[in-house]
Amino acid sequence: MAGWRIVRGMVGICGSGLLMVACVEARTPAQPRFVQSQTALAQPTQVADRRPSQGPLVAPAVTVAAPVPDEKPLILQILPWGTAVAQVGHRRDAEAMPEGPMALAVAPSGQIAVLDQVNSRVLLLAPTGQPLEKTQIIPLSRPTFQDIAFDPTGHLFALDRLHTPEVVGLSPGAQWSVPIAGEDLTEPAAVTGLFPAQDGVWLELTHSSLRWLAGAGGMVPQHVRRLPARPSADGQHLISIAVVAANQVAVSVLNANGDRLFTRKITMRQAILGVREWGIDPQGRAIIVVATALEQGDRSVDEHLTAVVLGADGSGDRRVELPIPQGPEEHFRPVRLAASGALYGLQARAQGVAVWRVQP
């Protein structure tokens, strides 16, 4: 992942359907500074969940062969409940939702990491889903981490946003920690995602803007930098989402120069429970994962998890049904869009957790 470029002229859709613009200033990592107007990109509602670059801030555009879509998700592995090496922890509490693995992440190599926070560890799987023969467990200091993510070099980081708010590096060469602190970070619970990148670690706040937390080696920056939306892995695009109606989500995509490529409203068949993941794949397609259900009084029935794929110009509307959880286990980020463009996810089952993959 290239270092993310701060751009100007960000455009999104607010709840009323009006265009909103955010102006930001481009600077190199040596001058970490951000200037933004009071008007920001659309704030999503009902939504689930660096090291200094030696090259250009935005990676050169390359032509990538379009992937062959899968007809249905592939189950890579089923991890039983338990404490053994190839198992994941399961906690039941009479006063809280049952808890299983909170999140998963996918490395540039395709290696899969499952956050088994109940057992205070991260379980590493091969790209095929098989547990690795060596170094397949990374211990954690406590069971309160909620998110994990790889940076472009394959270093793994973990986020604790509630117990001891901090980001911790877990890989050799990146074993440092940075507290989540600052005048604008007084509510760590507002952190909704961990995004390591080429120029350090960024935090997503309230499913919308990103805030630079630390640079190379855990260096705490002297100046605050922000992005008003999620960037693509190559830094070529930004994408924002907003639920604008009970069954409708708006998607806005801009290029690295701040030019709006398209804004598109997506209508689902059922009420939207949340948007579980969104991003841009290597072909420039926007991929949004939406959880929906029929609402019957205070109950939700006939739940669906659907990946919606839009073309690089906003055209098309390919939809892929994804595995829905079969239990009530709590998750933080159970679906991830990998740098390859494939979607990976966790599906809680009665006997354990399934790890799945699909090429939408």
**pLDDT value, residue 19:** 37
Distance separating alpha carbons of residues 61 and 254, to the nearest angstrom: 15
User: 355 and 114 in contact (C-beta within 8 Å)?
Assistant: yes
Is pLDDT at 202 greater than 60 in this prediction? yes
Task: Find all residues with CB under 8 Å of 152, minimum gap 6, and list them.
Answer: 1, 2, 108, 196, 197, 198, 233, 339
**pLDDT value, residue 60:** 41
Q: Let me know how long the chain is.
A: 360
| Mean pLDDT of the chain, nearest integer | 82
Task: Find all residues with CB under 8 Å of 12, minimum gap 6, and list them.
Answer: 19, 20, 22, 40, 41, 42, 228, 229, 240, 242, 250, 252, 263
**Measured CA distances, 266 to 271, 306, 315, 358 (Å):** 12, 12, 11, 21
The predicted-structure confidence for 18-46, as pLDDT tens digits, reads as follows 334 333 333 333 333 223 333 333 333 33
* pTM, entire model: 0.81
User: 268 and 29 in contact (C-beta within 8 Å)?
Assistant: no
Q: Residues 163-201, buried b or exposed e (16+ Cβ, 10 A)?
A: eebbbbbbeeebeeebebeeeebeebebbbbbbbbbbbb
**pLDDT value, residue 49:** 35
The closest alpha carbon to 117, from 107, 103, 96, 127, belongs to 103
Higher pLDDT, 48 or 182: 182
User: Domains (ranges, CATH) in the chain?
Assistant: 10-358 (2.120.10.30)
User: 158 and 122 in contact (C-beta within 8 Å)?
Assistant: yes
Structure tokens at 348: 């809680």
